[in-house]
Chain A
Amino acid sequence: MSDEPRDATATAAADADAEVSGGFADRWANFRDREISTVLLTVVGVAVFPFLFNNFLDGYTQLATLMLIYGIFAVGFDILLGYTGLLSFGHAVFFGGAAYAAGIFSASVSSSPLLVLLAGTAFAVLLAWIVGFLSLRRGGIYFAILTLTFGQMSFYLAASPLAFLTNGENGFTSVDIGSLLGVIDIHGGVPFPLSMLVDNMLYVFVAAMTVLSVAMANRILHSPYGTVFRAIRENERRAEFVGLDVWRYKLMAFIISAAFAGIAGSLFAIEGNYVPLESLYWTESGRIVIMTVLGGVGSLFGPLFGAGLYLYIENIVSGFPTLGPFWHLILGVVFVVAVVLFPDGIWGGIDYVRRMVVGGEDE
């Protein structure tokens, strides 16, 4: 990235404390702090990822797609946990709820992928408004337990009283996805120049949504809104004394993060053509907690890494003959070590090494 041209707007866009002294670290910081470079990096990342993944890491495109879907989920979850400091143990309800909503919408209203995505996300947002309104009445453990309560309630609702809608324990199987904008077959292949990197259209669609989500998250976190989130995480009481309506901002953080979960859930239904009941169970909420914490809370790309790593271990490492049976156990141990010793996760570790090498400033 060092050969990236450096122009005048770069300095203007950079943080006030990052003075341009010509050093590599400063130039890198300048580049990194611009919104367009975050988006570009993400585009390049998602474009070459399946190629590298399939050729060097034993992966396959379907898994790469799933990694991006969970990546979106984790990025949204991190807005809540990493930036606002709220630990929700019921986020599966927005992921699974959106997946069900998207699936049911596709079967009974319209099979257009974009409309399905919109329907699922809208459902997650509405649900989050209600659940957030009820769960945020008290902080700390009460928030974690109330979200857990609403999550479990939705699981048991979907399991039997609403089985006529959700198909109960068998999961929702009648997902029906049509072509994108009426012309592009979403489960088909891609045309030549692109096909050197990616082999199916679904990945391209999910990758586009990933870039969009990362850009949105980046924009939100660098806006005054994001600053308020961080202020609440650092010291809720102080934020309140400054005159901020903390409760309202927390609710917004909750809804925004549920919107990301909704996008991911809808894509999950589109990707698999199926919604399993387990997508609502609280262990699914636990999975997203592990992914986010492993990857690194409070960073933009950390959660994406965490999601990728988790799914890689779950799908590839679990097949290794010796380690296989213990994969979940190993993940648990790594998770605990991360919580105790590296609260900033893998991304924090990378950042630490980077600072050691190039001698950048502490953030």
Chain B
Amino acid sequence: MTLLADILTILLNGLQQGAIYVLLAVGLSIILGTLKFVNFAHGALYLVGAYLGLFITGQVPLNNGQLAEWGIQSYGIGLGFIAALVIVPIVVFIVGLLMERFVAQAFYERPDTDQILVTFGLAIIVQETLRALLGGSSQPFPQPSWASGPIALPVVGNFPRWRLGVIAITAVLVLGVYALVEYTDFGLIVQAGTLDGEMVRLLGIRLSRPYLVVFGIGAALAGVAGVVGGPLANVNPNIGTEQLVPAFLTVVIGGVGKIEGAVVAGLMLGTLQVLLIQTGYAAWSQVGIYALAALVLLVRPQGLLGSEVEVS
């Protein structure tokens, strides 16, 4: 009975750990799969989401950074967590639209090394602007009051309520995006465009608008990930780059452009990490996910659920 409880606890914690990877990876994956655009600024969108979430939920005192030097004591409008969950994706969606129009579009025809370079530069700009204005120190992102504290689950016992919340929010969002891509006309156009953009254009369908929306959705998911992931750790300007690498791993392990793949891979990485920590190999928990990623890519370079077609 306790063994079962242990296994379930590890699985649940793994789900929660992997949930943030999944949220980031799904956005990254649909942008990469559909637009063939490598977005190294995806972590920066997560960062924007986290800080924006902090701004909307509460009043954060400012101790350092330029804003504090200019005499602004705190920032935030204190609207609460639900408001953040609604507003952040909308704002970051718009940020995504702007990014597509003014940055990504100019780089579709250029080699992917250039795409990586320019988005890497953008990520630095976002990160350093936030650091300069708000200071580099870590700020706590409080859990929403309605979801703090433990909840008694059958078999598992007490489990932090917020972790279940993270899993639930992720599940709803990812299912929503999956349904949008798989079961709507919009999704059909996007999928067809991924397979053969020229043919879709010849059929008289303009792809520029669906592509714009895909970029926006991907960005919005990264923004939500920032709000959802914020309360799990402190918020500081480095969290964007820290999340970017595992998110990319999740995409390539799962297979580029595959939402199911991103989910499976994210859960794998999360569970492995939690497993290593809870079995006393905490020192290996980070090495483990990179080793697993390397192993999968060596055996199946196209990713677990990826198709043989190379994304170039």
Residues of chain A whose beta carbon lies under 8 Å from any beta carbon of chain B: 81, 85-87, 89, 134, 137-142, 144-146, 148-150, 152-153, 156-157, 159-161, 163, 282-283, 286, 289-290, 293, 325-326, 328-329, 331-333, 335-336, 339-340, 343
Which chain A residue shows the least CB distance to B285? A156
Contact flag A325-B132 (CB < 8 Å), given A87-B117, A141-B112, A157-B287 = yes
Contact in complex: B118, A339 (CB < 8 Å): yes
Interchain CB contact under 8 A, A156 and B287: yes
Residue from A85, A140, A328, A336 in contact with B311 in the complex, judged by beta carbons closer than 8 Å: A140
By a CB distance below 8 angstroms, the chain A residues around B298 are 134, 137
A144 to chain B, nearest CB (A): 6
Q: Is the CB of B252 within 8 A of A340?
A: no
Measured CB to CB, the closest approach of chain A to B197, in angstroms, equals 18
Whether B124 contacts A140 by the Cβ 8 Å rule is: no
Known contacts being A87-B113, A329-B125, A335-B121, is A145 close to B248, with CB within 8 Å? Answer: yes
Instruction: Tell me which of B151-159, B173-181, B198-206, B289-297 binds A.
Output: B289-297
Chain A residues with Cβ under 8 A from B312's Cβ? 139-140
CA of A320 to CA of B252 in the docked complex: distance in angstroms?
43
**Residues A329 and B283 in contact, CB atoms below 8 Å apart:** no
Find out whether the CB atom of B294 lies under 8 angstroms from the CB atom of A149.
yes
B245 contacts which chain A residues (CB < 8 A)?
A: 148-149, 152, 282
For this complex, 11 residue pairs linking A to B, each with C-beta atoms less than 8 Å apart, are A86-B113, A89-B116, A140-B312, A144-B38, A148-B245, A150-B294, A153-B287, A286-B120, A326-B128, A329-B124, A336-B125
Residues of B within 8 A of A333 (CB): 125
Q: How far is the CA of A85 from the CA of B241 in the complex (A)?
A: 24
Most-contacted residue by chain B among A153, A283, A293 (CB, 10 A)? A153
Contact between A283 and B241, CB atoms less than 8 A apart = yes
Closest to B284 in A: A161
Q: Do most interface residues of chain B lie in helix, strand or loop, or is the interface mixed?
A: helix
Contact assessment for A140 and B290 in the assembled complex, using a CB-CB cutoff below 8 Å:
no
Taking CB atoms, residues of chain A closer than 8 Å to B297 are 137, 142, 146, 149
- Complex: chain A residue closest to B123, CB-CB: A332
Give the contacts of B77-119 with A (CB-CB under 8 A). 106, 111-114, 116-118
Given that A137-B298, A328-B128 are known contacts, is A339 also in contact with B290, CB under 8 Å in the complex?
Answer: no
CB distance from A269 to the nearest CB of B (A): 23
In angstroms, how far is the closest chain B Cβ from the Cβ of A296? 13
Contact of B66 among A283, A293, A325 (CB under 8 A): A325
Contact of A293 with B294 in the complex, beta carbons under 8 Å? no
In the complex, chain B residues whose CB is within 8 Å of the CB of A152: 245, 286, 290
Q: How far is the CB of B192 from chain A (nearest CB, A)?
A: 23
Q: Is the CB of A149 within 8 A of B287?
A: no
User: In whole angstroms, how far apart are the Cα atoms of A159 and B285 in the complex?
Assistant: 12
What residues on A are CB-neighbors of B66 within 8 Å?
A: 325
Residues of chain A contacted by B220 (CB below 8 angstroms): none
* Complex CA–CA separation, A332 to B131 (angstroms): 13
Of chain B, the residue at the smallest CB distance from A156 is: B286
User: Which residues of A have CB within 8 Å of B249?
Assistant: 145, 149
| Chain A residues whose C-beta falls within 8 Å of the C-beta of B169 in the assembled complex | none
CB proximity of A303 to chain B, nearest CB, Å: 15
How many residues of B sit at the interface, in one of the four size bands? 35 or more
B128 adjacent to A142 (CB under 8 Å): no
Contact B132 A340 (CB under 8 A): no
Minimal beta-carbon separation of A248 from chain B (angstroms) = 18
**Which 10 A-B residue pairings sit nearest by Cβ, starting from the closest?**
A332-B124, A153-B290, A336-B121, A160-B283, A156-B286, A329-B128, A332-B125, A87-B113, A328-B128, A335-B121
Residue among B114, B132, B252, B290 having the largest count of chain A Cβ atoms under 10 Å: B290
Q: A153-B290, A332-B122 are in contact. List 11 more A-B contacts (CB 8 A).
A: A86-B113, A87-B116, A142-B252, A144-B38, A156-B290, A157-B287, A163-B283, A282-B241, A293-B117, A328-B132, A339-B121
Judge whether B248 and A148 touch: CB under 8 Å.
yes
Task: Give, as a whole number of angstroms, the nearest-CB distance from A289 to chain B.
Answer: 7
Residues of B contacting A289 in the complex (Cβ-Cβ under 8 angstroms): 117, 120
Contact A144 B118 (CB under 8 A): no
B131 and A149 contact, CB distance less than 8 A:
no
B129 on the interface (CB 8 Å rule)?
Answer: yes
Which residue from chain A places its CB closest to the CB of B106 in the assembled complex?
A: A340
Say whether B185 faces chain A, with CB atoms less than 8 Å apart.
no
Residue of B nearest to A85 (CB): B113
Tell me if B196 is interfacial: C-beta within 8 Å of chain A. Answer: no
**CA separation between A20 and B312, bound complex, in Å?**
44
Residues of A near B301 (CB, < 8 A) are 137-138, 142
Q: Which residues of B contact A81 (CB under 8 A)?
A: 113
A149 interface neighbour in B122, B128, B290, Cβ under 8 Å = B290
Tell me which residues across on chain A come within 8 A of B290, comparing CB atoms: 149-150, 152-153, 156
- How far is A340 from B104 in the complex, measured between Cα atoms in Å? 11
Residues in A with CB closer than 8 Å to B125 are 329, 332-333, 336
- Cβ–Cβ < 8 Å partners of B129 in chain A: 329
Residues on B with C-beta less than 8 A from A89 are 116
Q: Which residues from B are CB-within-8-Å of A144?
A: 38, 112-113, 116
Residues of B within 8 A of A339 (CB): 114, 117-118, 121
Name the residue of chain A whose CB is nearest to the CB of B124: A332
Do the beta carbons of A331 and B124 come within 8 Å of each other?
yes
Q: Which residues of B contact A286 (CB under 8 A)?
A: 120, 124
B13, chain A: closest CB distance, angstroms = 20
Give the residues in chain A near B106, CB-CB below 8 Å.
340
| Cα distance A27–B54 in the bound complex, in angstroms | 63
Distance in angstroms between the alpha carbons of A153 and B298 in the assembled complex: 15
Q: Nearest-CB distance from B257 to chain A (Å)?
A: 12
